[in-house]
């Protein structure tokens, strides 16, 4: 690497490297005109990108002595001036004195680059970055070596690293925006292919994450990524990206409201009701919301569902109930399942005995969705106890709202199930058979279901959450 080879020898005395002494001996010889050791000439190999380097300077490591740091600065001045032979002569003792110093290595790398030794320059820049990953000069040198590369990903990675270290670098401003757009488009095409192919959620999310790395300020792309991740089943990634759009100042008002609402819904799906309610309250107070009728309806639906958060103390005691009531069952179904997305009830539910029920709005949701029924006198009887047969009936009703074809198939197969205390002509026979086949409610080994026994809160919670997961509502 050193072009002087044996011309310059670094003397060692007592284990101490005498780099500066050696340099001055060489200088005296040159001043005296020692014809036997003429200063080697190293021609400058031009490259178009040198202009990006001229205003930079090597940064010595913390262990480099002050005198050596001054020599490094002088050496760099010689490299910039194109006096490569002199620079080589002065850098040699510095490299012997501090072989791992990032500033010395970066300066030596540019000496090699200006001399035409690109492989040697690459090795030196790599060693400098190993010693100091945030070294701007070494990062710039490594970037210049791949600047004309056809590998867009490699070039993008190098430019991104330099932009993080020196955002104002002219090379970053000139090259990164256009390259980022090309890389983002390539990565986005890959992400869309995975989404169309029905790949697992994490694979789709990771592909979109790579595209977003290249275009971090694109609200449209974040929204597309969130919707694709949600469709692919990666709800955690979807919620994070919906949140990003909601906070993005470049997002339109509709995008921000839509994304905030979607994030609130996903929080509710994860039973983080308090966080969801806080988010929803902010959306409901936004003066722009009334301008988007579909979002108003969607927010109202979530508000009804989140009523459980406002009465969370009573809701959380459902599991402990020895016998579950009709209002508890309605609250459970409304909170955990919600309304069918494509079959929302718009007719008012008129029940005359809900005034004192803590779950009034949730009862209206459950009845409106068709999960539970009013009695002929327009009462709901919120504190009435629920039998196991009635619980089976409501669970089957929910399943039928989301997958009617599967319900018909399960009902057709119900005759093969052995139920000793629920004969074929029993009122709850079909519902009991369906819920038993789906694993929602248990039948004893003796074939006993006990349809008239009261259902417990724990039994109802287990059945509803199992159904929720089966329907993909979790």
What is the DSSP code (8-state) at residue 13? E
Total domains in the fold of the chain: 3
Rounded CA-CA distance 25/327 in Å is: 97
Q: Single out the residue in 248, 278, 310 at which a domain terminates.
A: 310
Q: Single out the residue in 310, 343, 365 at which a domain terminates.
A: 310
Q: Are 244 and 379 members of one domain?
A: no
Query: Do the domain assignments include residue 276?
Result: yes
Evaluate if residue 9 carries a pLDDT over 50: no
Query: Do the domain assignments include residue 178?
Result: yes
Closest Cα to residue 305, out of 256, 272, 348, 283?
Answer: 272
Query: Do the domain assignments include residue 210?
Result: yes
Evaluate if residue 61 carries a pLDDT over 80: yes
In Å, what is the CA distance from 80 to each residue of 54, 104, 111, 263? Answer: 6, 14, 9, 54
Evaluate if residue 31 carries a pLDDT over 80: no
Query: Do the domain assignments include residue 2?
Result: no
Lowest mean pLDDT among 61-65, 88-92, 147-151: 147-151
> What pLDDT does residue 12 have?
31
Rounded CA-CA distance 65/71 in Å is: 10
Q: Are 123 and 211 members of one domain?
A: no
Q: Is 334 helix (H, G, I), strand (E, B) or coil?
A: helix
Q: Are 204 and 298 members of one domain?
A: yes
Evaluate if residue 268 carries a pLDDT over 80: yes
Angle at 418 between CA 416 and CA 424, to 5 degrees: 75
Q: Are 332 and 306 members of one domain?
A: no
Angle at 144 between CA 141 and CA 146, to 5 degrees: 120
Q: Are 182 and 301 members of one domain?
A: yes
Evaluate if residue 204 carries a pLDDT over 70: yes
Alpha-carbon 217 to chain mean position: 14
Rounded CA-CA distance 329/460 in Å is: 7
Q: Are 330 and 462 members of one domain?
A: yes
Query: Do the domain assignments include residue 93?
Result: yes
CATH number at residue 32: 1.25.40
Q: Are 202 and 119 members of one domain?
A: no
> What pLDDT does residue 388 have?
96
Q: Are 97 and 40 members of one domain?
A: yes
The model's pTM: 0.48
Contact present, 467 and 395 (Cβ < 8 Å): yes
For residue 31, give the H/E element and its range: helix 19-31
Q: Single out the residue in 310, 334, 361 at which a domain terminates.
A: 310
Evaluate if residue 124 carries a pLDDT over 50: yes
Q: Are 462 and 357 members of one domain?
A: yes
Residue 35 pLDDT level (bands cut at 50, 70, 90): very low
Range of the domain at 281: 174-310
Q: Are 319 and 466 members of one domain?
A: yes
Evaluate if residue 2 carries a pLDDT over 80: no
Determine the average pLDDT of the residues in 146-165.
87
Q: Are 282 and 339 members of one domain?
A: no
Task: Of 39-43, 230-234, 328-332, give the range with the top mean pLDDT.
Answer: 328-332
Residue 22 pLDDT level (bands cut at 50, 70, 90): very low
- The average confidence (pLDDT) of the chain is 85
> What pLDDT does residue 311 have?
67
Angle at 137 between CA 133 and CA 141, to 5 degrees: 95
Query: Do the domain assignments include residue 259?
Result: yes
């Amino acid at each position: 690497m050193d072009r002087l080879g044996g011309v310059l020898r670094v003397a060692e005395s007592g284990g101490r490297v005498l780099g500066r002494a050696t340099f001055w001996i060489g200088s005296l010889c040159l001043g005296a005109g020692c014809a036997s050791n003429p200063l080697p000439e190293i021609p400058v190999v031009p490259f178009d990108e040198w202009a990006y380097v001229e205003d930079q300077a090597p940064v010595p490591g913390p262990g480099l002595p002050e005198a050596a740091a001054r020599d490094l600065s002088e050496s760099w001045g010689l490299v910039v001036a194109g006096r490569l032979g002199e620079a080589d002569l002065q850098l040699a003792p510095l490299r012997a004195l501090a072989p791992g110093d990032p500033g010395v290595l970066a300066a030596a790398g540019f000496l090699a680059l200006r001399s035409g030794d690109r492989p040697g320059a690459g090795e030196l820049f790599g060693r400098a970055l190993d010693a100091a990953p945030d070294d701007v000069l070494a990062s710039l040198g490594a970037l210049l070596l791949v600047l004309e590369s056809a590998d867009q990903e490699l070039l993008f990675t190098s430019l991104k690293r330099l932009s993080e270290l020196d955002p104002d670098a002219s090379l970053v401003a000139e090259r990164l925006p256009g390259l980022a757009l090309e890389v983002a488009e390539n990565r986005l095409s890959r992400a869309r292919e995975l989404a169309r192919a029905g790949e697992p959620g994490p694979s789709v999310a990771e592909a979109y994450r790579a595209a977003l790395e290249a275009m971090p300020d694109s609200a449209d792309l974040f929204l597309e990524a969130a919707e694709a991740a949600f469709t692919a089943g990666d709800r955690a990634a979807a919620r994070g990206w919906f949140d990003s759009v909601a906070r993005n100042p470049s997002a339109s008002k509709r995008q921000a409201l839509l994304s905030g609402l979607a994030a609130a819904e996903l929080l509710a799906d994860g039973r983080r009701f308090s966080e969801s309610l806080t988010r929803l309250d902010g959306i409901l107070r936004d003066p722009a919301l009334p301008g988007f009728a579909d979002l108003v309806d969607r927010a109202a639906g979530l508000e009804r569902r989140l009523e459980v958060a406002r009465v969370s103390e009573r809701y959380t005691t459902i599991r402990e109930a020895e016998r579950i009531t009709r209002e508890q069952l309605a609250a459970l179904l409304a909170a955990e399942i919600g309304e069918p997305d494509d079959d929302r009830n718009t007719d008012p539910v008129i029940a005359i005995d809900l005034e004192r029920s803590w779950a009034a709005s949730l009862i209206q949701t459950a009845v409106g969705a068709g999960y539970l029924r009013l009695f002929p006198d327009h009462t709901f009887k919120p504190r009435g106890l629920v039998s196991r047969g009635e619980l089976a009936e409501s669970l089957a009703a929910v399943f039928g709202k989301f997958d009617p074809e599967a319900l018909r198939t399960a009902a057709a197969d119900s005759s093969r199930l052995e139920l000793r205390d629920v004969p074929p002509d029993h009122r709850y026979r079909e519902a009991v058979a369906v819920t038993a086949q789906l694993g929602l409610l248990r039948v004893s080994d003796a074939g006993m279901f006990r349809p008239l026994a009261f259902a417990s809160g724990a039994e109802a919670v287990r059945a509803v959450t199992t159904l929720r997961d089966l329907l993909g509502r979790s």
